[in-house]
Structure 1
Amino acid sequence: MDVLIHLFVGLHIIGIAALLGGFLTQMKALGRGEARIVPAMLHGALTMLVTGIVLMGLNEAQHYHLNYVKFGVKIAVLVVILGLVYVKRDEERVPKGVVGAVGGLTMANIFIAVLWT
């Protein structure tokens, strides 16, 4: 079971990398006002959601102690990210605030995961 948990942690990290990497690729365009939502952002956010929920289930099945408040906050932040990315995914130019919010919320979600013990 631990191998399966580690596999999904790896997939979760790949999702984070895709979401944050998609944001970082738009930084130069953000300065010119030409930023857009790239497919990697949507796919990364969906990967994070699915693997995060699977990880919660696998850890619960192992009877590990879970901090449900932390996971609730992380899922809420991710749902906001998903909403922004999904709604704006087809627009040619996205306002700076939306792209900035996606990047900021992604980094906030990372720091919640790492620092909240």
Structure 2
Amino acid sequence: MTVLTNVFVGLHIIGIASLLGGFLTQMKAMGAGTARFVPAMLHGALTMLVTGVLLVGFREMGDGAPLNHVKIGVKLAVLFVILALVYVKRDEEHVEKGLFAAVGGLTVANIFIAVLWH
């Protein structure tokens, strides 16, 4: 089970890298007002959602170690907002600066929630 959990942790990290990487590649375009949500951002967010839910399930089925459900709920809520924004605006040629920046900020916030909240 440990190997499987580690594989999904790796996939979860790849998902966040895809979401954040897609945002970072569009930052110059955001300054010009021509940024758009690239497919990597949507796929990264979906990867995070699926792997995150599976990781919580693995942890619940495992050794009974306590899980911070409030933290998981906050991270899930933030990810749902990110996913909704990226999904709804994915086909638009240009996304407003504020909306695009919000997705980047929420992505970074989700990373810091994961790392700093114990």
Q: Considering only aligned residues, what root-mean-square deviation do their CA atoms show, in Å?
A: 0.4
Aligned to 2:72: 71
Aligned mates of 2:77, 2:105 — CA distance in 1 = 14
State, as a whole percentage, how many aligned pairs show the same letter: 74
1:45 and 2:7 correspond: no
Residue pairs, 1:1-117, within 5 angstroms: 1-62=1-62, 63-117=64-118
| TM-superposed deviation, 1:65 | 1.1
| TM-superposed deviation, 1:98 | 1.0
What per-residue deviation string (whole Å, max 9, x for no partner) do you get for residues 45-88 of structure 1? 00000000000000111122100000000000000000100000
Total equivalences in the alignment: 117
Aligned mates of 1:64, 1:57 — CA distance in 2 = 12
Aligned mates of 2:91, 2:28 — CA distance in 1 = 19
Aligned mates of 1:97, 1:38 — CA distance in 2 = 16
So what's the TM-score if we normalise by structure 2?
A: 0.98
Runs of 4+ in 1 over 2 A off after TM superposition: none
State the one-letter code of the partner of 2:4: L
Aligned mates of 1:73, 1:59 — CA distance in 2 = 17
What per-residue deviation string (whole Å, max 9, x for no partner) do you get for residues 12-60 of structure 1? 0000000000000000001111000000000000000000000000011
Aligned mates of 2:31, 2:109 — CA distance in 1 = 22
Aligned mates of 2:65, 2:97 — CA distance in 1 = 41
State the one-letter code of the partner of 1:49: L
Aligned mates of 1:37, 1:17 — CA distance in 2 = 15
